[in-house]
């Protein structure tokens, strides 16, 4: 229980101490039963500290366990020999070397928090990261305690014919009483968070992969019966990831078998348990008729991410949870590079930056702001954040930018070789990069320790007589929680200068003997720096922060004409897209002022012209055209206003979409028709790009609100050729308030009500509708027979979508959205604290809104904190959010 008078203990990085005992090996035996599973844990233990100062007790973490017995060196211990504390078992005076047997009993069927061992759809599965293993047995449940695991699973054969755990299968057989067993051994030492067990009646999809050294690895995907045909894409993605990691990072798989299990009830996307990955089924199962293009891309990305963890997380793991980004940030960078190589690099980069700007920057500026390596936490589950993952990936990307491909590869090779089988820190990662490249990254390490989003302000001047072009660059970082003052970051600013034809100019800094290419990276290391380029004939247009070379906010006063010029001419695809985003934001901010003054808005000529040229330019990749024509999200526009008015931003954005649709109606219809594809469905980048642009054209046309375009959407929905097109049409009908939405929703439900993942889409498309009154519909859907409170995917699809992806309706001035969210956080708190806590973030942004909304949000946070049995997860975020 947590409350404001007796808050939970805060854990600090500065207090880290190494473990007192080594676990040389661990043998586990599971006697599986849904309500009474017995776990026998046998640990071989050695003291790992100087005993001259006396014997230290052995601390074993444990939660929600029924202790049956403890035996030390074959001697049964009595209560005088040990003590039970809150979530801990202490062996008072153990010898230096000993064997400890601990028998516990647990109830997996009652485990709605989905941490430790639990049941899902009649099967057993585990989730041990971050601290779930302590809900299975007593053990030093920390990432710096690595040991070799041997696991024996015993269960009823008829109910649970499949018995899986980490490593390689040593033995299996049948017992006399209708049960059977399997023994698994993982030869690679690992921490407890990487342990996994799965038992159930599952179908297996089998394949194999031959490594670069000629070893054959068995591949098995375990899914619910009937889902076998939905695994083809995931299996192919895994094989591509295995090959890619060999080629790009020199990493080869090390066990005889690689297994993936798909489960419907899972708090996360997936888990990289050594050799036995447990996945949320939404990141495994994909067929064209039931999965969208985005689903296919995400499946491949997550499959790759978890596989890449085999080295960046498993073979080399993190010393403590403060180092979480050591494995997650590095692995996100690796999966981003993989996806970029498998799809379209520019589109992938744009998608990644959207997440940063639209969500991670808000996290940086909010009450839960923390460095990539946090200094403290109350509940570690709360730090599986965009800052740790996505900003952490950007930090690794900046190292890659600073070092270059070859030196970065040398650094990663050295890191893996030097620390194989160890639990390490971010300093160890940086040291390997420095030692391999000779670079000095001492200042760069501030990216790990300082929170917040740096702001880069650039002023420019041109001396036509001397042909000197000067950039005056200032950097700063606003105060964040716990950090009022910041030292300058080391920011790699990739840039180019374009001439009047859009061609990049040779870049030669004052003092240099010759030009150094047409693109370069400026090292920003001081609060203010000046860079003067010489031999620049006409005044150029700057192309700065190319490829989004650093996770910063760049402030550069470009005119509408200059932004339009960059949209049409910049050779950097990301900057070309970003120029359009900047122009759109400028237009929307002006429209907000027009709306506020009560004047009649008009469509901006420069934006409309750029929109039309881009739409009709057939030389461009359709995927990039779709990105360029997508207006900035309402949440991103909100970043540029002092006091957020969600309704006004929505009105302005919708006005702009509708105006662009009217202005370019014929061109939109023509492009839509041109992109119609009656051929077989393909997931290659070109086909996905065509569908993406075609469906964007339709979404604009529906803004016209006439029968012709509604029929266009309805016809596309009824063609039912791919889920990508069906969902695009259904979304257009629902979000436009079309009368046909009701029949379409009903038909969709009847078609897909037996498929949980598709039904999640049905719930989400309704929850994200901007139509007034949608909250009443969402409330009604929470009483639907197919809404299951214990299934995280279903909760996220309905409650999460409304509260986090529908700003105009969530932020209704009457505060109804805030009350709705608080109701569900309170309800979920006792069932699944992780899910409850992760939904709280919208209330933490209260300082950015008007006084009425501020008070409404704060009152709901206070109401949550008044709950008598608040989980640590919810308490930490709610209390920090209320403080602002």
For residue 566, cis peptide bond before it (omega within 30 degrees of 0):
no
Closest CA to 449 of 430, 423, 424, 468: 430
Res 6: pLDDT = 67
Q: Each residue of 146-168: b (16+ CB within 10 Å) or e?
A: bbbbbbbbbbebebbebbbbbbe
Measured torsion, CA atoms of residues 254, 259, 262, 267, in degrees rounded to the nearest 10: -40
3 state SS of 516:
coil
Q: Which CATH class is domain 753-884?
A: mainly alpha
- Residue 757, sorted as left (phi over 0), alpha (psi -120 to 50) or beta, turns out to be alpha
Report the distance separating Cα 532 and Cα 553, nearest Å. 22
Do 317 and 195 contact (CB within 8 A), yes or no? no
Angle made by CA atoms 834, 267, 324, in degrees to the nearest 5:
75
Does the domain made of 202-310 have the CATH classification 3.30.2010.30?
Answer: yes
Report the distance separating Cα 600 and Cα 478, nearest Å. 37
Phi then psi for 711, rounded to 5 degrees? -65, -35
Domain range summary for the chain, segments of one domain joined by +: 1-201, 202-310, 317-552, 753-884
How many CB atoms sit inside 10 A of residue 679's CB? 7
Choose, from 129, 131, 272, 306, the residue flagged as catalytic.
Answer: 306
Res 192: pLDDT = 98
Q: Which two tokens stand for residue 570?
A: 């910049």
How many residues belong to the chain? Answer: 884
Report the distance separating Cα 636 and Cα 641, nearest Å. 10
CATH topology of domain 1-201: Immunoglobulin-like (2.60.40)
Report the distance separating Cα 189 and Cα 651, nearest Å. 57
821-843 tens-digit pLDDT: 999 999 999 999 999 999 999 99
Residues in a beta bridge with 11: 377
Burial label, 352 (beta-carbon count in 10 A; 0-12, 13-18, 19+): buried
Res 663: pLDDT = 98
Concerning whether 306 is annotated as a catalytic residue, the answer is yes
516-551 tens-digit pLDDT: 899 999 999 999 999 999 999 999 999 999 999 999
Crossing angle of helices 560-569 and 573-597, in 10° steps, is: 150
Superfamily of domain 317-552: Neutral Protease Domain 2 (1.10.390.10)
Please state the separation of Cα 659 from the chain's center in Å: 34
Q: Which two tokens stand for residue 813?
A: 């001035």
Res 1: pLDDT = 46
Closest CA to 637 of 626, 648, 629: 648
Residue numbers in the chain where pLDDT is lower than 70: 1-6
Do 366 and 849 contact (CB within 8 A), yes or no? no
663-716 tens-digit pLDDT: 999 999 999 999 998 888 999 999 999 999 999 999 999 999 999 999 999 999
């Amino acid at each position: 229980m947590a409350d404001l008078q007796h808050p939970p203990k805060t854990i600090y990085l500065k207090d880290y101490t190494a473990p007192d005992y080594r676990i040389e090996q661990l043998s586990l035996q599971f006697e599986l039963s849904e309500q009474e599973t017995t776990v026998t844990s046998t640990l071989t233990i050695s003291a790992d500290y100087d005993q001259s100062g006396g014997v230290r007790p052995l601390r074993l973490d444990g939660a929600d366990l029924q202790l049956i017995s403890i035996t030390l060196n074959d001697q049964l211990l009595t209560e005088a020999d040990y003590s039970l504390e809150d979530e801990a078992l202490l062996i008072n005076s153990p010898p230096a070397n000993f064997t400890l047997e601990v028998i516990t009993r647990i109830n997996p069927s009652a485990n709605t928090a989905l941490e430790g061992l639990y049941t899902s759809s009649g099967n057993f599965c585990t989730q041990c990261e971050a601290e779930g293993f302590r809900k299975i047995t007593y053990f030093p449940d920390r990432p710096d305690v690595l040991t070799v695991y041997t696991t024996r699973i015993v269960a009823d054969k008829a109910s649970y014919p499949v018995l899986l755990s980490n490593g390689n299968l040593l033995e299996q057989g049948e017992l006399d009483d209708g049960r059977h067993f399997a023994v698994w051994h993982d030869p690679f030492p690992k921490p407890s968070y990487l342990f996994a067990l799965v038992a159930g009646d599952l179908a297996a999809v089998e394949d194999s992969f031959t490594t670069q050294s000629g070893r054959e690895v068995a591949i098995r995907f375990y899914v619910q019966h009937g889902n076998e045909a939905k695994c083809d894409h995931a299996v192919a993605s895994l094989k591509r990831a295995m090959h890619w990691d060999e080629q790009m990072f020199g990493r080869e798989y090390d066990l005889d078998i690689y297994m993936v299990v798909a489960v419907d009830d899972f708090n996360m996307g997936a888990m990289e348990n050594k050799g036995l990955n447990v996945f949320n089924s939404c990141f495994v199962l994909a067929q064209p008729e039931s999965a969208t293009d985005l689903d296919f891309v995400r499946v491949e990305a997550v499959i790759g991410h978890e596989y890449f963890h085999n080295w960046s997380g498993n073979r080399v793991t993190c010393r403590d949870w403060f180092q979480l980004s050591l494995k997650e940030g590095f692995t996100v960078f690796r999966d981003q590079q993989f996806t970029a190589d498998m799809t379209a690099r520019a589109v992938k980069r744009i998608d990644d930056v959207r997440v940063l700007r639209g969500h991670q920057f808000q996290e940086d500026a909010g009450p839960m702001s923390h460095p990539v390596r946090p200094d403290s936490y109350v509940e570690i589950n709360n730090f599986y954040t965009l800052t740790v993952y996505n900003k952490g990936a950007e930090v690794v990307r900046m190292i890659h930018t600073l070092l270059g491909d070859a030196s970065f590869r040398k650094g990663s090779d050295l890191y893996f070789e030097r620390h194989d089988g160890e639990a390490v820190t971010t300093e160890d990662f940086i040291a390997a990069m420095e030692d391999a490249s000779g670079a000095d990254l001492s200042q760069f390490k501030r990216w790990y320790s300082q929170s917040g989003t740096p702001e880069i302000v650039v002023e420019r001047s041109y001396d036509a007589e001397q042909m000197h072009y000067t950039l005056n660059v200032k950097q700063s970082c606003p105060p964040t929680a716990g950090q009022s003052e910041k030292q300058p970051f080391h920011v790699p600013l990739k840039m180019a200068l374009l001439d009047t034809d859009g061609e990049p100019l040779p870049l030669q800094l004052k003092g240099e003997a010759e030009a150094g290419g047409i693109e370069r990276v400026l090292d920003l290391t001081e609060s203010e720096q000046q860079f003067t380029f010489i031999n620049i004939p006409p005044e150029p247009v700057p192309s700065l922060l190319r490829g989004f070379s650093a996770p910063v906010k760049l402030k550069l006063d470009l005119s509408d004409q200059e932004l339009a010029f960059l949209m049409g001419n910049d050779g950097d695809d990301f900057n070309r897209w970003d120029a359009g985003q900047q122009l759109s934001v400028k237009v929307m901010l002006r429209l907000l002022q027009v709306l506020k003054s009560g004047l009649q808005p008009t469509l901006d000529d420069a934006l409309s012209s750029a929109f039309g040229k881009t739409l009709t330019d057939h030389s461009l990749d359709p995927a990039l055209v779709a990105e360029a024509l997508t207006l900035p999200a309402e949440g991103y526009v909100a970043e540029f206003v002092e006091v957020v008015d969600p309704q006004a931003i929505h009105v302005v954005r919708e006005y702009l979409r509708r105006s662009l649709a009217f202005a370019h109606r014929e061109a939109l219809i023509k492009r839509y028709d041109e992109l119609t594809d009656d051929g077989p469905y393909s997931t290659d980048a070109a086909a996905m790009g065509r569908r993406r642009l075609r469906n964007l054209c339709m979404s604009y046309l529906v803004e016209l609100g006439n029968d012709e375009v509604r029929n266009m959407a309805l016809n596309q929905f009824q063609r039912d050729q791919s889920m990508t097109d069906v969902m695009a049409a259904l979304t257009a009908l629902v979000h436009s308030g079309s009368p046909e939405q009701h029949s379409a929703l009903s038909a969709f439900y009847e078609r897909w009500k037996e498929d949980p993942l598709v039904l999640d889409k049905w719930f989400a498309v309704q929850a994200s509708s901007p139509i007034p009154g949608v909250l009443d519909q969402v409330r009604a859907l929470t009483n639907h027979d197919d809404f299951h409170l214990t299934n995280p995917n279903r909760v996220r699809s309905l409650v999460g979508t409304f509260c986090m992806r529908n700003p105009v309706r969530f932020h209704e001035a009457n505060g109804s959205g805030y009350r709705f969210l608080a109701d569900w956080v309170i309800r979920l708190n006792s069932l699944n604290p992780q899910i409850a806590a992760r939904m709280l973030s919208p209330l933490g942004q209260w300082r950015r809104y008007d006084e009425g909304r501020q008070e409404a949000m704060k009152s709901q946070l206070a109401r949550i904190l008044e709950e008598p049995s608040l989980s640590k997860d919810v308490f930490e975020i709610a209390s920090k959010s209320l403080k602002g």
